[in-house]
Amino acid sequence: MLEPLPSDIPKFLEKYLPDNGPFITLTYAQSLDSRIAAAPGERTYISHAQTKTMTHYIRAHHDAILVGINTVLADNPSLNCRYGTNNSKIRPVVIDPNFRFFSEDINNYKLIDNYKRNNNLKPIFIISEDISIKDESVLNLIDIIQIPLVDGIMSWSDIFTSLHNLGLKSIMVEGGATIINTLLTTTLVDSLIITIGPIFLGNEGVQVSPSSQVKLENINWWTGIQDSVMCANLKK
Amino acid sequence: MLEPLPSDIPKFLEKYLPDNGPFITLTYAQSLDSRIAAAPGERTYISHAQTKTMTHYIRAHHDAILVGINTVLADNPSLNCRYGTNNSKIRPVVIDPNFRFFSEDINNYKLIDNYKRNNNLKPIFIISEDISIKDESVLNLIDIIQIPLVDGIMSWSDIFTSLHNLGLKSIMVEGGATIINTLLTTTLVDSLIITIGPIFLGNEGVQVSPSSQVKLENINWWTGIQDSVMCANLKK
């Protein structure tokens, strides 16, 4: 069960949520020292239950949640939407260039289980064009999009275009650090929503910091019982 | 001239300012990605004019401001107090184990100039016991406290005790990163006041992140035009 949504959150978020067109929201929770986890692969609780409810409220406004494969392997996240009385289903999207997920026992993962039990939509894995799918039975449980590598990496613009082409207009990107750091230096993010939890996770933690300066505009803060949340747009 | 102090700041800070006993306040401004400067030695503006006024208001409640020598050499800070109609004078304290300041043309520095023009109190330099003062005329412009090195470093507890013994009970520590990171892992900080400016300075910046996790309590947030300010106590 989620805690109730603080009553002033909908108004606070209003200007930062998708309208009808294609829309990319980047959102995550960090410590004061900009860590999203205490160590690589370690699930870390940073935000208060009320800001967790906010995350599910934001998910309810999107067609898809996108994370990196490291986040899936480390946290085994549900990637569902538990806000409201009718839980809205949402498409989990996992960026996994080398298709590492295929080497796992994928039935152990909540995003697979949720789909099998009809509790959520079928996950999409975004993998490199160079990978050949050896066992096509995996396609019963996940959809696959293959993207060309340019200089060894997939382009964010190719990724979002392929998702928009599937009818997934609004995409909520939740992490992890590599995903966030690379996306922050593009011009593709429509809204940024960061929860700051009042703790220092320390310099062994997994940090968010882009490779160059990023300026913001239309800044708004909300403060809860424990956390502060900042909404903004990236200056283009 | 400083901007006016936001009217709700005194109440917000009340519980986090010194009473009559010895008191250590740690305060600084950081970016979202926990950088206090865009690059080593580069003076970087992070906070809005209204939170700058807050800094001078906080200074007015302290006997001394403490910074590291890197901050003095990089930023040439005034380390004075410009809040209120009668500017309160305050003691600048610089941690400078190897007395690098002595190799500088010290008359170029604002904290020296302010003292010479009777605009502020005499700066104190805290240097290693191993340093011998070759030119005692420097003592006309600064006071020196010598502290023993234990395993190559001066202990924070020795530093604060020596300042308290001079009658400087309340000390406001403002940076830079080494000072902040080491002090965060002690039990000596009575109040923590962090201003968060809504910008990413990027991973070439000078970062605050202590060597281990630090938990906080009695957390309070204030939001201004641009920045968010968090006050807290370190959990001991």
pLDDT in tens, A62-90: 999 999 999 999 999 999 999 876 667 99
| Euclidean distance between CA atoms A91 and B54, whole angstroms | 46
Residue in A with minimal Cα distance to B44 = A213
Please tell me the distance from the alpha carbon of residue A226 to that of residue B196, in angstroms, as a whole number.
Answer: 15
Q: What is the pLDDT of residue B152?
A: 86
Option in A205, A214, A228 nearest B200 (CB): A214
Q: Rounded distance, CA A42 to CA A202, Å?
A: 13
pLDDT value for B104: 87
Residue A43 pLDDT level (bands cut at 50, 70, 90):
confident
Q: Please give the share of chain B, as a percent, with pLDDT higher than 90.
A: 89
Of B204, B214, B223, the CB nearest to A223: B223
Instruction: List, for residues A98-145, the tens digit of each pLDDT value.
Output: 999 998 899 999 999 999 999 999 999 999 999 999 889 999 999 999
Average pLDDT over residues B116-145: 95
Going by the DSSP 8-state scheme, the letter that residue A109 receives in this structure is: S
- Residue B212 C-alpha, separation from nearest chain A C-alpha, in angstroms: 5
A:143-202 residues touching chain B, CB 8 A cutoff: 181, 184, 194, 196, 198-202
**Can you tell me whether residue B14 is helix, strand or coil?**
helix
At residue A195, does pLDDT exceed 90? yes
> CA B82, CA B57: separation in Å to the nearest integer?
8
- Closest by CA position to B142, among listed B97, B170, B109, B168: B109
For residue A177, the chain B residue with the least C-alpha distance is B33
**Region B103-121 average pLDDT:** 94
Question: What is the residue-averaged pLDDT of chain A?
Answer: 95
| pLDDT at B161 exceeding the cut of 90 | yes
Reported confidence tier of residue A186, pLDDT bands at 50, 70, 90: very high
- With b meaning 16 or more CB within 10 Å and e meaning fewer, what string describes B150-184? eeeebebebbbebbbeeebbbbbbbbbbebbbebb
Q: Is a pLDDT exceeding 90 seen at residue B111?
A: yes
pTM of the model: 0.95
What are the tens digits of pLDDT across the range B201-221?
999 999 999 999 999 999 999
The verdict on a CB contact (< 8 Å) between B203 and A219 is no
Report whether A167 contacts A124 (CB < 8 A): no
